[in-house]
């Protein structure tokens, strides 16, 4: 099945960003809006307490499950938003590097931001995503 997502790169913008600046999906694509993927274990406890990278990895793991349940995978993601509960840029980068590596060359448009607090005890990272598939 052909992938619905097309990443758009602009030669008019900086090539420093580690993601595409835009992405498209055809009108017939089915969009999948994922709730924020959290670093929760199956029993509801928070994984990787105190570790930004470990929590980002658990978020990606959980996102893969949610995508699979919706008939998609990471290569169907059209955009992400990575939320990190920290004001330190190094903490944001630690989480981002995990996300970037998980997506590999499918470097979707993404927003990375520091936030004050997230919803679960000891939660440091949450990743929102939208995917597009053609059935």
CA distance 54 to 125: 9
Tokens of 76: 């169907």
Helix/strand number for the chain, H first, E second: 2, 6
Give the tens place of pLDDT for each residue, 54-107.
Answer: 999 999 999 999 999 999 999 999 999 999 999 999 999 999 999 999 999 999
Regarding beta strands 110-114 and 77-84, do their DSSP bridges make them parallel or antiparallel, or are they unpaired? parallel
Q: State the first-to-last Cα distance of the chain, in angstroms, to the nearest integer.
A: 8
Residue 24 neighbours by CB under 8 Å, 6+ apart: 5, 6, 8, 78
Tokens of 11: 């030669």
Tokens of 47: 């994984």
CA distance 67 to 127: 13
Task: Identify whether the C-beta of residue 9 lies closer than 8 Å to the C-beta of residue 106.
Answer: no
Give the tens place of pLDDT for each residue, 38-54.
Answer: 999 999 999 999 999 99
The pTM assigned to this predicted structure is 0.92
Phi, psi of 89 (to 5 degrees): -60, -35
Q: How far is CA 128 from CA 14, 60, 62, 80, in A?
A: 25, 10, 11, 5
């Amino acid at each position: 099945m052909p992938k619905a997502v097309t990443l758009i790169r602009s030669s008019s913008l900086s090539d420093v960003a580690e993601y595409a600046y835009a992405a498209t999906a055809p009108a017939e694509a089915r969009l999948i809006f994922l709730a924020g993927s959290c670093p929760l274990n199956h029993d509801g406890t928070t994984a990787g307490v105190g570790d930004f990278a470990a929590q980002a990895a658990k978020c990606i793991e959980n996102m893969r499950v949610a995508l699979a349940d919706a008939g998609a995978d990471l290569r169907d993601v059209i955009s992400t938003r990575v939320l990190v509960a920290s004001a330190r840029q190094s903490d944001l980068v630690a989480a981002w590097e995990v996300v970037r590596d998980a997506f590999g060359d499918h470097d979707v448009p993404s927003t990375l931001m520091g936030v004050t607090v997230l919803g679960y005890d000891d939660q440091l990272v949450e990743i929102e995503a939208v995917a597009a598939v053609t059935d």
